Structure 1
Amino acid sequence: MHNILIKPLITEKMSNITAKDETKYGFVVSYNANKIAIAQAIKQKFNVDVVSVNTIRYKGKSKTQFTRKGRFTGKTPRFKKAIVTLKAGQKIDIFSQV
């Protein structure tokens, strides 16, 4: 279970979502994790009740870099994002858990 949650999402967009609805939090999770495993990992780590989990899978992008020695191509890693909705009245203090 400890390999499911990679890190919390602390972005401007996620901060706006959390500010509007204080029960929603975002996490970068393992690419192969399912919603049930994500909910169990959140419940175990933060001791809160999870109402729903929405997931988004992102593909890696191809990148090209031009240098003096020639052209290099590479790829950014793929990742999965989960937006977790908690039971009303419950909160996660992300900054103390990091």
Structure 2
Amino acid sequence: MTARREKPVTVTINQAYDLIVAPVVTEKSTMGSENNQVTFRVPLTATKPQIKAAIEILFKVKVNSVNTLKQRGKIKRFKGKLGKRPDYKKAIVSLAEGEMIDVTTGV
């Protein structure tokens, strides 16, 4: 089996700001920071190469890999009526050894 070649993805600084919606600060994502992993919310249409390029541009770090998952919105009741929270996508970014992103500063 031959290795797939990644096409070079160019992301402008404005597109990079649109691709990274917010950091995810949960107990699980905080535990991932011990393994050089940072979790971000991204648009549903974002691809792994785009996310990698955006992180490298915005934070000036080297990214090893990007794992993504789509989270379905929960069904919730509000004032007796059923509603649905929006779907969203999370990206778990693995950084190179020695690299670091501190998402808790400025909070």
**What interval of TM-score do these two structures reach, taking the shorter chain for normalisation?**
0.7 to 0.9
Q: Is 1:52 aligned to 2:61, yes or no?
A: no
Q: Is 1:94 aligned to 2:103, yes or no?
A: yes
Q: Which runs of 5+ in 2 are unaligned?
A: 1-14
Distance in 2 (CA, whole Å) between partners of 1:25 and 1:12 is 12
Aligned partner of residue 105 in structure 2, secondary structure:
helix
Q: Give the counterpart of 1:7 among 22, 25, 30.
A: 22
Q: TM-score, normalised by structure 1?
A: 0.85
Higher strand share: 1
Distance in 1 (CA, whole Å) between partners of 2:24 and 2:99 is 18
RMSD: 1.5
Distance in 1 (CA, whole Å) between partners of 2:74 and 2:50 is 27
Q: Which runs of 5+ in 1 are unaligned?
A: none
Aligned partner of residue 21 in structure 2, secondary structure:
strand
Q: 4+ residue runs of structure 1 moved beyond 3 angstroms?
A: none
More contact order relative to length (CA 8 Å, sep ≥ 6): 1
**What is the count of residue pairs matched by the alignment?**
92
Q: Is 1:33 aligned to 2:27, yes or no?
A: no
Equivalent position of 2:33 in the other structure = 18
